[in-house]
Structure 1
């Protein structure tokens, strides 16, 4: 219980700052132990393009990339100060995605020489402007004598000890649809009263033959929750029409930023799928219901192993 409490406190402090951690958790470990690192709030971070090294003070760097067990996103409670009042609340307007922190679970290899050193993480992910990034931060750690072992992160399930599965916290393979974010124009982002996003025509035969309730029960439309201020009062609904899926966004205040249309789409059931990357299009509307110009959206296929391509 003490371990869990300390861990929650550390994570809470990280989220309150919305930054890259300069210490691992724990800060002292044996070769073979498991540590976690906070990697800031990125867009499209993935294991495939992430490299990790450990360099003992005065020594030679050791490649730890193959020891990365998982990278997943951690979100604060939506009613917490971290979500609404801290530096994290500025993440959406400076990045185009919701406030979160990337957590890396790393198994240290055996054979590391005892002593102090630093872990360095590098990747090709995009980070908010005015943000620290992992490649600029040396994460301090001390390796102590002894032989450790990877943490099972076991928990009790119906009275049985079960090993934690971090892959269940990672994003499932999905299509991500979003407009290009303009980081240098975040303070003057155009706003709209409504938008209609259409995903066209690549459902497989099983999905096309299924009833509306069958498809809606398995199709996941995950709209990115932002901005934290909720000034747009954004409402979202969606429907399938044959092979097309239409997502409707409505802002009664007319203050929906263009990047609030970001959405992830996938099927929870394996018998339903997209046969190819769908075509996407979007229309924007002003407060009077008139069609107005706005930025196009782009679609990418995303997995945690390969990123978004």
Structure 2
């Protein structure tokens, strides 16, 4: 994804989703011309970062009178969350090799980070800019942090958009942005070595008195990559299957990649609900990793917990 945009008031997040589906697999921070009134809500595509959070991002608005507004300290940063391209999107499959790989080189699957924030009610009309720092080292846009995003503040008084939705419960429900933000998770990585993995078997222990075993879920990002080691270049090389179960005390994860998969493309997320009374204390207690011939490898997967 190489386009980042601020959407003007009156245009919903659905517009961003439509745009996102047409974009290639890397991310950026370039903008379309846009306008908003003081008090309005804007949504900004700010690159691609697995680690960016609304609690750690910095956002400062400089208005036409050169006054600066710290949106985070003012409580005007509404949400920071990630979007993923439709798996059928042309750009997901046929982007240039570098565009498709840059996020994986930085340690995460292709995704687009979105910031939703309100413009201060007292901001002066005229040309303005947002200075944004993700405070993360995995931004796949390739733009130096911090970066600036321009917008024009129009005369008049706007209002914070509640993004009212309509569902089975009826119209008028206010969107809950926290449902778009990452749940607590443990990320399991297999490193960035050059030896392809053919299979892996993991046992993950956790504190079942803190985390109900039935609340655990597992997510494994798909790697849609072309194999550049063969001529002609072709898809299909990095397919993998992930199976998992828990027995009330431990989590078991088995991975099969018969044609081999580069370690950087193999990631597993162990996810749990918010609001635990303590850390679930995830630990890999057993890990066996094999090459495509079934020989045991020395790869030791790592687990990092993000509450």
1:220 pairs, out of 217, 220, 235, with: 217
Secondary structure of the structure 2 residue equivalent to 1:167: helix
What whole-Å deviation, never above 9, does each CA across 1:219-238 have from its counterpart, x for those lacking one? 21111222444522100111
TM-score (norm 1): 0.80
2:105 pairs, out of 94, 103, 108, with: 94
1:297 pairs, out of 280, 286, 302, with: 302
Gap runs ≥5 in structure 1: 183-187, 209-214, 303-309
Is 1:43–1:126's contact at 8 Å kept on the other side of the alignment? no
Gap runs ≥5 in structure 2: 1-9, 227-235
Deviation at 1:63, TM superposition (A): 0.9
Higher helix share: 1
Equivalent residue, structure 2, for 1:146: 156
What whole-Å deviation, never above 9, does each CA across 1:198-234 have from its counterpart, x for those lacking one? 21242228847xxxxxx3xx42111122244452210
Give the 5 Å matches for 1:178-257: 178-180=189-191, 182=192, 189-204=194-209, 207=212, 215=214, 218-229=215-226, 230-241=236-247, 243-253=249-259, 255-257=260-262
Is 2:29–2:143's contact at 8 Å kept on the other side of the alignment? no
2:48 paired with 1:51: no
Q: Say which structure, 1 or 2, has more relative contact order (CA 8 Å, 6+ apart).
A: 1
Equivalent residue, structure 1, for 2:26: 18
Equivalent residue, structure 2, for 1:103: 114
- RMSD (CA atoms): 2.9
Is 1:54–1:117's contact at 8 Å kept on the other side of the alignment? yes
Equivalent residue, structure 1, for 2:175: 164
For 1:263 and 1:72, the matched residues in 2 are separated by 19
Deviation at 1:27, TM superposition (A): 1.3
TM-score (norm 2): 0.80
Stretch deviating more after TM superposition (198-207 or 162-171) = 198-207
Equivalent residue, structure 1, for 2:37: 30
For 1:260 and 1:29, the matched residues in 2 are separated by 40
For 1:277 and 1:11, the matched residues in 2 are separated by 36
Change (3 A) 1:141 1:10: farther
Is 2:244–2:254's contact at 8 Å kept on the other side of the alignment? yes
2:79 paired with 1:75: no
Secondary structure of the structure 1 residue equivalent to 2:47: coil
2:124 paired with 1:113: yes
Is 2:183–2:272's contact at 8 Å kept on the other side of the alignment? no
